[in-house]
Amino acid sequence: MTETPDWVKITREIDAPIELVWEMWTDPEQFKKWYGPKGMTVPTAQMDVVVGGTRKICMEMRSPDRTMTMWFTGVYKEVGKPTRLVYTESLCDADGVLIAPQAMGMPEGHPDITEVIVELAEAGDKTVMTMTHVGVPEGTAGGGGWSQAFDKLAELLAGA
């Protein structure tokens, strides 16, 4: 029996130069344009992109009945412009206070802190982007959310 990895790893070739793809990950205004699954927006993206700097992101989905928000916070562990970005990610409230994943409906055993590793490589005038989210098992909603976000990113950059 093969065990499912406890990470999501996605590689995409993006039709944009590496500097622009880096900016999409590190500039709050650019990040807000593509992050999150389809149907979700990012009204808040606070990023201090230096080693030890913090980030706080809000994803929001509006429906006629209600508005659902999910907040995430983390710390930048590596900032290797323009090829490598590593940060932690945890669920939090609007004030940045950590929330247990189970309180947001995540399965038992979901880690309180996960790690996102973004690796960028030049491929001619395109960029190969590999994102690994350690702590989010392959085949879960998290992986699907990342795929949808990367579809939005590719679409956005195709028109750039």
Question: What are the tens digits of pLDDT across the range 74-85?
Answer: 999 999 999 999
Whether pLDDT at 1 is above 50: no
Buried b (16+ CB within 10 A) or exposed e, 77-102: eeeeebeebbbbbbbbeeeeeebebe
Please count the structural domains in the chain: 1
Question: What's this model's pTM, rounded to 2 decimal places?
Answer: 0.93
| Residue 1 falls inside a structural domain | no
CA pair distance 5, 79, nearest whole angstrom: 25
Q: What is the CATH number of the domain that holds 86?
A: 3.30.530.20
DSSP 58-87: EEEEE-SS-EEEEEEEEEEEEEETTTEEEE
| Residue 129 falls inside a structural domain | yes
pLDDT single digits (tens) 16-31: 999 999 999 999 999 9
Taking Cα atoms as reference points, which of 78, 91, 16, 14 lies closest to residue 52?
78
| Residue 96 falls inside a structural domain | yes
- Show the domain range for 11: 7-159
Q: Is 60 left (phi over 0), alpha (psi -120 to 50) or beta?
A: beta
CA-CA-CA-CA torsion for 119, 20, 152, 97, nearest 10 degrees? Answer: 70
| Residue 80 falls inside a structural domain | yes
Listing from the earlier edge strand, what are the strands of the sheet with 114-123? Answer: 7-14, 126-134, 114-123, 84-92, 67-80, 54-62, 41-47
| Residue 74 falls inside a structural domain | yes
pLDDT single digits (tens) 68-123: 899 999 999 999 999 999 999 999 999 999 998 888 777 777 889 999 999 999 99
| Residue 2 falls inside a structural domain | no
